[in-house]
Amino acid sequence: MATVAQLLGQKPKGLFSVAPDAPVLEAIRAMAEHGVGALLVMQGEQLAGIVSERDYARKVILMGRSSSDTPVSQIMTAQVITVAPSQSTQQCMQLMTDRRVRHLPVVDAGRVVGMLSIGDLVRAVLAEQAQTIEQLEHYIHHG
């Protein structure tokens, strides 16, 4: 089973974030530009929260708020569920399932070092399964 650190090593480097006082419209534009479903909300070097397309849909659109007048801090999730680089993909999937989240910031020694999405984890599990099948087929044919 792969670790969070191994998964992060396979992803392109770079964290996408927005400031808590930025307008929601800026966050949505950044998500679209980078092709991601959530952004870290950073106050300097500190993780202040996470904001997702789901937050936007439920807390801006459904409540009739303005994307350009509402700051990210009003719709973000402040109690962020994070994981450590040493945790397994299995633990991450369990966390996502139990807590109904699709993104997990990765924190190492108090610093945000990456972000995992449900897509990252599904890709990792599929790759592990393919490798296992290949090994089993090799064993069957050459055993």
Q: Compare 138 and 48 and report the one with higher pLDDT.
A: 48
Cα–Cα distance, 22 to 2 (Å, whole number): 36
Tell me the pLDDT tens digit for each residue of 71-82: 999 999 999 999
Token pair of 98, please? Answer: 């139990």
Model pLDDT, residue 128: 83
Percent of the chain residues past pLDDT 90, beyond the cut? 74
Model pLDDT, residue 15: 92
Model pLDDT, residue 143: 67
Half-sphere CA count of 141, side-chain side, radius 13 A:
6
Domain ranges of the chain: 4-142
Residue 56 pLDDT class (50, 70, 90 cuts): very high
Model pLDDT, residue 61: 86
Query: CATH top-level class for 4-142?
Result: alpha beta
DSSP 84: -
Token pair of 127, please? Answer: 């790759």
Model pLDDT, residue 36: 94
pTM of the model: 0.86
